[in-house]
Structure 1
Amino acid sequence: MSTENIHSDHNNFLVVLGGGESGVGTAILGKKEGYHVFVSDKGKIADHYKQILEEYQIEWEEENHSVERILKANLVMKSPGIPEDAPLVNLLRGKGIKIISEIEFAAKFTTANIIGITGSNGKTTTTKFTHFILKNGGLNVGMAGNVGQSFARQVAETKVDHYVLELSSFQLDGIEEFRPNISVLTNITPDHLDRYRNNFQEYIASKFRITMNQTEEDFFIYDADDEVIAKWLSENPIRARKLPFSLQKEVENGAYIKDEQIIITIDNNHLTMPTSNLTLEGKHNAKNAMAAATVAQLLRIRKETIRASLSNFQGVEHRLEKVLKINNVQYINDSKATNVNATYYALESMESETIWIVGGVDKGNEYAELLPLVNEKVKAIICLGVDNRPIINAFGNCVDVMVETRSMEEAVNEAYRLAEKGDTVLLSPACASFDLFKNYEDRGRQFKDAVRNL
């Protein structure tokens, strides 16, 4: 395709760094909105994305960045996976070229009501939960961000009244004016510190960017029991109206649990339902449910619909997903637990003796907080990683049986051998998956396949 026309119009040249879901979505929306678009990926672009770019007649390159050309951009959309301090990114900044995230770019082209959801854990479940209730309530609603199709692509190709967006800290790092009408912060625990120069404060600030452009007309829903969030809010005033949720205390506006009832109040409008009706088990899921139901109540979904949705929601694949019961042993896939805090929730919700499959790429994990739960609930540990030393050092004295494995099949067979009637086998790795698997989905699917093959 000829490149001449691109250089002739200097006001509208959009460069997209990264040819994955968010990059391709941005390219499609950019093209639709009249930009000249060029997609550049240092790695390989997947074939199905290449096809889409060809269909839309968008230029692309892979395994290379044509730096000179990229530096002619008026605007650059950087995919969330590219670090903030990558050499090309620094070069662009040095030239004063504006770099934004897909979320920032796409938000400018929609008038839909935006619900933004972030947090170290629980954000996917809360996003899907919220979308499920709003859809059941008859709203015309899309779901994007870290789940499903990219936000930019949906803005380009569909017309909805509301978006529920799951937002990572990396996506929030690239926003300037993005302003959700309702924002949700599920919790903050140390995660991805490798990306934030091991500075927890930077990571916290990154999460709170979700509310930075909100005004008094907007709402901020958050976990009032989370000490990190409470401390930040006590030191940094925000403009949005606060709606906390809590398992520990009563709140005037927001959500809490009392006498096994969830109680949600917004300006004297009350919703109650018994916690026993929630399909998802565990305290963290009660919190996810409260956050989602608070959003639904703000958007005036009928109370019967909210109650019915909370008791029908099936949860998220790879998140405490019950796979099969074999010989009265329950196998649970929690592959999405890529940090210690997520695994804490998983172990906390175990009600029987547990054989725990753990390990992978350790992001500087502190395992100490798991020790009491491991002592109480875990009878055997199966390490599944290339380097299992941190796990062996942390838990070697807690359990009688510790096995090292190098494949999912081997791990599941070991678990099968060790499990007795009434036990649970839990895959909850507390680590990233890249040493032995493509990603956490691949790890979870391999687990499910191995269990079904027993």
Structure 2
Amino acid sequence: MRLVVLGGGESGVGTAILGKEKGYDVFVSDFGKIKQRYKEVLINKGIEWEDEKHTESLILNADVVMKSPGIPEKAPIVKKLIEKGIPVISEIEFAAPFTKAVTIGITGSNGKTTTTMLTYHLLKSAGLNVGLGGNIGKSFAEQVAEDKYDSYVLELSSFQLDGIINYKPHIAIITNISPDHLDRYDYKYENYIDSKFRITMNQTEEDYLIYDADDEAISEWLQKNKTRAKLIPFSLTKTFEEGAFIKNNTMEALINQEEFTMETESIALEGKHNLKNAMAATSVAKLMKIRKATIRESLSNFQGVEHRLEKVLKIQNVQYINDSKATNVNATFFALDSMNTPTVWIVGGVDKGNDYNELMALVREKVKAVICLGVDNKKIIDAFGNVVDIMVEVNSMSDAVRMAQRITEKGDTVLLSPACASFDLFENYEDRGRQFKDAVHNL
């Protein structure tokens, strides 16, 4: 069996390692450059590879192809594979049959990283032998090759879900759905929504789907479509006989005839959206039979995720917050919503078809200045030029931070929450967030 891996990054190299171990004839091909550390792994494992090209004769003879999530289906090589009827799958689909471990799959437009990390923290604190993978951390396929864990918490993007055929998580979570990545879905929101719901398509009556019952797109899909999984909703406004909700400043989770309660103010993560993430993670913990005391302790000591509303420093009574992970409008909505002081907002990057109108009321109420950090800021300037007093364009992070310091007064907040992808000026959102933190530390 010939396995061709497109993309020599974390998921690609992990898949190659697992494929080699399971007796496949493996070839890795990357149209870009493969990082040195990954090249060394491939050479050490005796896996053939190429970079900066796709040699068709070595690819179109595959029995199965694992495509890294970053490669669009419109890529010429992928189109040729599909035309030939060669299955093109994701890392998760390839690796899942090789493990007996229980998987918890988490998707959504926003909140999935925080929910994934929090769920992992809850299970690990309870002493479970649990791995973390998917879009985050170490490759799931490589961990399956090492075969160390009894369960996995996996963060799954819509691109990874597009590449599944038979994979099903025992517990699935959809944190929310808002327009994102529409450039990869023919600019059709319904295609993107369907993509997220692939997480539940193979689930049976023995499996669970945990979802945000306040989310319009999710509720509509569930009204029109069926899943066999047992539904466990969570909400900030409704109550359920089975599910999680907030009532009188208390989080309640009623699952499998058991009740769990915790005062919301004891939960370490701040903001309404984080209450949702906490309800989703608590629902998993209850399904995995974790003790109430452990759940309470874990929710009260969880430190949050880097680049997600991360408090960097307070300088001259101005708080600097790194929310570089906000790569779409919905994520930035949550960030602005949680601001309680006048805010200087650093925004911009590669626009994925953003509609800034939904931020309008929050910007009027909370934002005193907008600093545009992108190659093309026209859309942002058009949207907010008449709404805020100060509008500045910069093209480096250090300029953005220095400008913010000039504009702020005591008691203000400087918020990096770009609402866009980072690829015009940065390697990725982590690079953008680290540059922000470095610039703040250098003030």
2:338 matches 1:349: yes
Distance 1:359 1:72 in 2: 43
2:58 matches 1:69: yes
Higher mean Cα deviation, 62-71 or 238-247? Answer: 62-71
Distance 1:218 1:158 in 2: 23
Q: Which residue pairs with 1:331 in the alignment?
A: 320
* Pairwise CA distance, 1:278: 1.2
Q: Which residue pairs with 1:298 in the alignment?
A: 287
Q: Which residue pairs with 1:364 in the alignment?
A: 353
* Pairwise CA distance, 1:296: 0.4
Aligned residue identity for 1:401: I
Distance 1:411 1:258 in 2: 41
* Pairwise CA distance, 1:89: 1.3
* Pairwise CA distance, 1:84: 1.1
Distance 1:76 1:389 in 2: 40
Distance 1:283 1:218 in 2: 28
Q: Which residue pairs with 2:67 in the alignment?
A: 78
Once the two structures are aligned, what percentage of the paired residues are identical? Answer: 69
2:222 matches 1:233: yes
Aligned residue identity for 1:435: D
Aligned residue identity for 2:407: L
Q: Which residue pairs with 2:201 in the alignment?
A: 212
Q: Which residue pairs with 1:273 in the alignment?
A: 262
Distance 1:45 1:305 in 2: 42
Aligned residue identity for 2:377: N
* Pairwise CA distance, 1:233: 0.2
2:92 matches 1:103: yes
Distance 1:332 1:136 in 2: 28
Match of 1:24 among 13, 27, 37: 13
Q: Any stretches of 5+ residues in structure 1 without a counterpart?
A: 1-11
* Pairwise CA distance, 1:267: 2.4
Q: Any stretches of 5+ residues in structure 2 without a counterpart?
A: none
Segments of 4+ in structure 1 off by > 2 A? none
Distance 2:413 2:268 in 1: 19
- Deviations 1:203-226 (Å, cap 9, x if unpaired)? 000000000000000000000000
- Deviations 1:267-309 (Å, cap 9, x if unpaired)? 2200000000111111000000100010001000100000110
Aligned residue identity for 1:284: H
Aligned residue identity for 2:60: L
Aligned residue identity for 1:442: D
Distance 1:353 1:46 in 2: 42
Q: Which residue pairs with 1:3 in the alignment?
A: none
Distance 2:87 2:372 in 1: 45
2:231 matches 1:242: yes
Is the CA contact 2:92–2:134 (under 8 Å) kept in the aligned structure 1?
yes
Task: Please state whether the residue corresponding to 1:183 is helix, strand or coil.
Answer: strand
* Pairwise CA distance, 1:63: 1.1
Aligned residue identity for 1:152: A
- Deviations 1:12-47 (Å, cap 9, x if unpaired)? 111111111110000000001111101111111111
Distance 2:431 2:87 in 1: 35
Q: Which residue pairs with 2:423 in the alignment?
A: 434
TM-score of the superposed pair, with normalisation by structure 2: 0.99
* Pairwise CA distance, 1:90: 1.6
Distance 1:207 1:218 in 2: 17
Distance 2:388 2:88 in 1: 50
Distance 2:422 2:86 in 1: 35
Is the CA contact 2:99–2:147 (under 8 Å) kept in the aligned structure 1?
no
2:166 matches 1:166: no
Higher mean Cα deviation, 67-76 or 295-304? Answer: 67-76
Match of 1:446 among 420, 435, 441: 435
- Deviations 1:42-99 (Å, cap 9, x if unpaired)? 1111110000001110000111111112111111111111111221112112211111
Higher mean Cα deviation, 256-265 or 392-401? Answer: 392-401
Q: Which residue pairs with 2:126 in the alignment?
A: 137
Is the CA contact 2:371–2:392 (under 8 Å) kept in the aligned structure 1?
yes
* Pairwise CA distance, 1:237: 1.0
Q: Which residue pairs with 2:277 in the alignment?
A: 288
2:310 matches 1:321: yes
Distance 2:387 2:22 in 1: 59
Distance 2:24 2:351 in 1: 41
2:405 matches 1:404: no
Aligned residue identity for 1:281: E
Task: Please state whether the residue corresponding to 2:98 is helix, strand or coil.
Answer: coil
Aligned residue identity for 2:292: K
Number of residue pairs aligned between Structure 1 and Structure 2:
443
Task: Please state whether the residue corresponding to 1:85 is helix, strand or coil.
Answer: coil
Q: Which residue pairs with 1:393 in the alignment?
A: 382
Q: RMSD value over aligned CA atoms?
A: 0.7
Q: Which residue pairs with 1:197 in the alignment?
A: 186
